[in-house]
Amino acid sequence: MTEVTPGATPSKRKEDTPLEIVRFIAIWVIVLLAIRTVFLEPFNIPSASMIPTLQVGDYIFVTKYDYGWSRFSMPYSPHLFDGRIWNTAPHRGDVAVFRYTQDNSVDYIKRIIGLPGDHIQMRGGELYLNGTLVPRKSLGAYSVMDENRVPQAGIRYLETLPGSAGAAPVTHQILKQTDEGEANDTREYVVPEGYFFAMGDNRDNSGDSRFQRDNGLDLGYVPMLNLVGKARFVFFSYEAVHPFWQFWQWPFEIRWNHLFATMH
């Protein structure tokens, strides 16, 4: 307890000067940038390629330390060094954020299906890994809207990818809308050293490593260097059906049952 002598005038708190305010703000900006670069970064899901695992309007946290750090871990990707610091290989089945192979300013999020040396092929809509059919179990019909309010309707499956580097198998959901088309009957891909093979969980509405034409648009194999981080969980999820000004609808737009969903 602070004592005040009777009759004495309490001292006034020294007011912050403009320089001190700027210094305080600068320190916090540096701290936040350090956290964003080294530990954790939020991302928004704008498209339907990872349905049903991730919905349009999900906000997720991505951890940066899982694979080490490259220049793509930092804001604006300054070319301060080459390669990755404390490089750690991803695991098959990870949901990862990485930079688009044709434009390193764009972030992509997909599931890592294949690692260096893996043989990957789609036959009749089913995934084969190293010559073995990847098992899946039907969960029945499923329908949800994409970013353009177009239904994404099909069969939802539980797919089980074999683990890598001694890790346990990864069971996760996928959506299949058709078994036809070039994405469902492919050549056999062999993942080169230093790269990985990525696919969306919405298998028939995903621009991913299955597309490898030399037209400057397709994703192709993704360099390990492009990895940004590993997706961990959904911290907010919002389905913007009504106009923003209809604030009374806001509580009903939140997907309460999807909050804090973890990536599998």
Tell me which of 47, 64, 73, 110 is the catalytic residue.
Answer: 110
Burial class for 245, CB neighbours closer than 10 Å (0-12, 13-18, 19+): exposed
CA 102 to each of CA 118, 120, 221, 238: distance values in angstroms, whole numbers, following the listed order: 23, 22, 11, 30
Per-residue DSSP letter, 5: -
Strand pairing of 222-223 and 58-63?
unpaired
Q: Compute the distance between CA of residue 185 and CA of residue 226 in angstroms, rounded to an integer.
A: 27
Q: Compute the distance between CA of residue 206 and CA of residue 192 in angstroms, rounded to an integer.
A: 21
Please give the distance of CA 28 from its chain centroid, rounded to a whole number. 26
Residue 14 a catalytic site member = no
Query: Amino acid letter at 258?
Result: H
Tell me which of 49, 206, 209, 237 is the catalytic residue.
Answer: 49
- Residues β-bridged to residue 85: 69
Q: Compute the distance between CA of residue 242 and CA of residue 157 in angstroms, rounded to an integer.
A: 30
Radius of gyration over every alpha carbon of the chain, rounded to an integer in angstroms: 23
Residue 12 a catalytic site member = no
| CA atoms lying within 13 Å on the CB side of residue 224 | 23
Q: Which positions are annotated as active-site residues?
A: 49, 110
